[in-house]
Amino acid sequence: MESADHNAETATFGEGCFWCSEAIFSSLKGVLSVTSGYAGGKVPNPTYQEVCTGTTGHAEVSQIVFDPEIISFEALLEVFWGSHDPTTLNRQGNDIGTQYRSVVFYHNDIQKAAAEIMKTELNTSGSFHKPIVTEISPFTSFYPAEDYHKQYYEYHGSAPYCQMVIKPKLDKFRMHFQEKLK
Protein backbone atom coordinates (compact mmCIF):
# COMPACT_ATOMS: atom_id res chain seq x y z
CA MET A 1 0.00 0.00 0.00
CA GLU A 2 1.29 3.45 -0.93
CA SER A 3 1.75 6.03 1.78
CA ALA A 4 -0.31 9.22 1.77
CA ASP A 5 2.77 11.25 0.91
CA HIS A 6 3.88 9.30 -2.19
CA ASN A 7 3.34 12.44 -4.31
CA ALA A 8 4.97 14.76 -1.79
CA GLU A 9 6.96 17.70 -3.09
CA THR A 10 9.57 19.90 -1.44
CA ALA A 11 9.86 23.67 -1.17
CA THR A 12 12.73 25.57 0.43
CA PHE A 13 12.28 29.17 1.60
CA GLY A 14 14.41 31.65 3.49
CA GLU A 15 12.58 34.49 5.17
CA GLY A 16 14.67 35.49 8.14
CA CYS A 17 14.66 33.48 11.34
CA PHE A 18 13.74 29.87 10.63
CA TRP A 19 12.02 29.55 14.01
CA CYS A 20 9.30 31.90 12.76
CA SER A 21 8.86 30.33 9.34
CA GLU A 22 8.84 26.80 10.78
CA ALA A 23 5.97 27.75 13.12
CA ILE A 24 3.99 29.31 10.26
CA PHE A 25 4.45 26.60 7.64
CA SER A 26 3.88 23.81 10.19
CA SER A 27 0.38 25.16 10.78
CA LEU A 28 -0.77 24.70 7.16
CA LYS A 29 -3.07 21.98 5.84
CA GLY A 30 -1.17 19.75 3.45
CA VAL A 31 2.25 20.44 4.95
CA LEU A 32 3.71 17.09 5.96
CA SER A 33 6.91 18.34 7.59
CA VAL A 34 9.01 21.45 8.05
CA THR A 35 12.73 21.25 8.80
CA SER A 36 14.85 24.23 9.78
CA GLY A 37 18.25 24.35 8.18
CA TYR A 38 20.74 26.06 5.92
CA ALA A 39 20.93 26.39 2.13
CA GLY A 40 22.50 28.48 -0.58
CA GLY A 41 26.07 28.59 0.62
CA LYS A 42 29.39 27.00 -0.20
CA VAL A 43 30.36 25.54 3.19
CA PRO A 44 29.33 21.87 3.60
CA ASN A 45 27.61 20.90 6.87
CA PRO A 46 27.69 24.37 8.43
CA THR A 47 26.89 24.96 12.07
CA TYR A 48 24.54 27.64 13.34
CA GLN A 49 27.52 29.55 14.73
CA GLU A 50 29.22 29.48 11.32
CA VAL A 51 26.07 30.59 9.48
CA CYS A 52 25.60 33.46 11.97
CA THR A 53 28.95 34.92 10.90
CA GLY A 54 27.49 35.62 7.45
CA THR A 55 30.57 34.15 5.79
CA THR A 56 29.22 30.75 4.70
CA GLY A 57 26.83 32.07 2.05
CA HIS A 58 24.01 30.04 3.61
CA ALA A 59 20.60 31.39 4.52
CA GLU A 60 18.46 30.18 7.39
CA VAL A 61 15.69 28.28 5.60
CA SER A 62 12.69 26.10 6.15
CA GLN A 63 12.46 23.03 3.99
CA ILE A 64 8.81 22.10 3.55
CA VAL A 65 7.52 18.73 2.42
CA PHE A 66 3.94 19.12 1.23
CA ASP A 67 1.12 17.24 -0.44
CA PRO A 68 0.34 19.15 -3.67
CA GLU A 69 -3.13 17.61 -3.74
CA ILE A 70 -3.94 19.54 -0.55
CA ILE A 71 -1.80 22.68 -0.83
CA SER A 72 -0.14 23.98 -3.97
CA PHE A 73 3.32 25.43 -4.33
CA GLU A 74 1.64 28.70 -5.33
CA ALA A 75 -0.27 28.71 -2.03
CA LEU A 76 3.00 28.18 -0.19
CA LEU A 77 4.49 31.10 -2.12
CA GLU A 78 1.52 33.25 -1.10
CA VAL A 79 2.19 32.37 2.55
CA PHE A 80 5.93 32.95 2.05
CA TRP A 81 5.50 36.48 0.68
CA GLY A 82 2.74 37.26 3.16
CA SER A 83 4.65 36.21 6.27
CA HIS A 84 7.77 38.36 6.01
CA ASP A 85 8.98 41.59 4.42
CA PRO A 86 10.39 40.63 1.01
CA THR A 87 11.42 44.23 0.32
CA THR A 88 14.27 44.43 2.84
CA LEU A 89 17.66 43.25 1.68
CA ASN A 90 19.40 40.82 4.03
CA ARG A 91 17.23 41.74 6.97
CA GLN A 92 14.08 40.70 8.81
CA GLY A 93 13.35 42.81 11.88
CA ASN A 94 16.41 42.85 14.13
CA ASP A 95 18.01 39.94 12.23
CA ILE A 96 20.58 41.41 9.86
CA GLY A 97 22.91 39.67 7.41
CA THR A 98 22.85 37.57 4.26
CA GLN A 99 21.84 34.56 6.35
CA TYR A 100 18.45 36.28 6.85
CA ARG A 101 17.83 37.10 3.20
CA SER A 102 14.51 36.55 1.47
CA VAL A 103 14.99 33.64 -0.93
CA VAL A 104 13.09 30.97 -2.82
CA PHE A 105 15.30 27.98 -3.61
CA TYR A 106 13.39 26.35 -6.44
CA HIS A 107 13.55 22.57 -6.90
CA ASN A 108 12.41 22.49 -10.54
CA ASP A 109 11.51 24.73 -13.47
CA ILE A 110 7.83 24.79 -12.49
CA GLN A 111 8.68 26.23 -9.06
CA LYS A 112 11.08 28.72 -10.64
CA ALA A 113 8.42 29.96 -13.07
CA ALA A 114 5.77 30.18 -10.35
CA ALA A 115 8.08 32.18 -8.06
CA GLU A 116 9.13 34.56 -10.86
CA ILE A 117 5.53 35.11 -12.02
CA MET A 118 4.25 35.76 -8.50
CA LYS A 119 7.14 38.11 -7.70
CA THR A 120 6.41 40.10 -10.87
CA GLU A 121 2.69 40.20 -10.13
CA LEU A 122 3.28 41.38 -6.57
CA ASN A 123 5.70 44.07 -7.74
CA THR A 124 3.30 45.40 -10.39
CA SER A 125 0.20 45.18 -8.16
CA GLY A 126 1.54 47.58 -5.57
CA SER A 127 1.08 44.99 -2.81
CA PHE A 128 4.31 46.28 -1.30
CA HIS A 129 5.42 49.91 -1.13
CA LYS A 130 8.95 49.01 -2.23
CA PRO A 131 10.29 46.53 -4.83
CA ILE A 132 10.60 42.90 -3.75
CA VAL A 133 14.25 41.90 -3.36
CA THR A 134 13.58 38.18 -2.88
CA GLU A 135 16.28 36.06 -4.50
CA ILE A 136 15.04 33.19 -6.69
CA SER A 137 17.84 30.65 -6.91
CA PRO A 138 18.25 26.98 -7.81
CA PHE A 139 18.23 24.57 -4.90
CA THR A 140 21.57 22.83 -4.53
CA SER A 141 21.83 21.39 -1.03
CA PHE A 142 20.18 21.53 2.35
CA TYR A 143 21.75 21.01 5.75
CA PRO A 144 19.36 20.43 8.66
CA ALA A 145 19.87 22.72 11.63
CA GLU A 146 21.00 21.40 14.97
CA ASP A 147 18.38 19.54 17.01
CA TYR A 148 17.80 22.42 19.44
CA HIS A 149 16.36 24.50 16.56
CA LYS A 150 13.76 21.91 15.56
CA GLN A 151 10.16 22.76 16.43
CA TYR A 152 11.53 25.63 18.47
CA TYR A 153 8.25 27.46 18.96
CA GLU A 154 6.41 24.27 19.84
CA TYR A 155 8.92 23.40 22.58
CA HIS A 156 9.89 26.91 23.75
CA GLY A 157 6.71 28.91 23.17
CA SER A 158 6.93 30.66 26.54
CA ALA A 159 10.51 31.88 25.96
CA PRO A 160 10.81 35.68 25.61
CA TYR A 161 11.83 35.58 21.91
CA CYS A 162 8.88 33.34 21.12
CA GLN A 163 6.44 35.59 22.98
CA MET A 164 7.80 38.87 21.59
CA VAL A 165 8.61 37.85 17.99
CA ILE A 166 7.16 34.51 16.90
CA LYS A 167 3.76 34.60 18.63
CA PRO A 168 2.71 38.03 17.27
CA LYS A 169 3.85 37.02 13.78
CA LEU A 170 1.97 33.72 14.02
CA ASP A 171 -1.16 35.44 15.38
CA LYS A 172 -1.11 37.94 12.50
CA PHE A 173 -0.57 35.12 10.02
CA ARG A 174 -3.46 33.09 11.46
CA MET A 175 -5.78 36.07 11.16
CA HIS A 176 -4.99 36.51 7.43
CA PHE A 177 -4.64 32.87 6.33
CA GLN A 178 -7.31 31.06 8.39
CA GLU A 179 -8.59 29.03 5.45
CA LYS A 180 -5.17 27.40 4.95
CA LEU A 181 -4.70 26.29 8.56
CA LYS A 182 -4.86 22.72 9.86
Q: Closest by alpha carbon to 26, among 155, 127, 122?
A: 155
52 noted as active-site residue: no
Beta-sheet pairing, 31-39 with 142-144: antiparallel
* CA 158, chain centre distance (Å): 22
Selecting among 17, 20, 52, 162, the annotated active-site residue is: 17
DSSP annotation string for 64-112: EEE-TTTS-HHHHHHHHHHSS-TTSTTEETTEESGGG-EEEEESSHHHH
Q: Closest by alpha carbon to 58, among 150, 143, 136?
A: 143
What gap in Å lies between CA 135 and CA 137, rounded to an integer? 6
Q: Closest by alpha carbon to 175, among 94, 83, 93, 102?
A: 83
Q: Which residues are catalytic?
A: 17
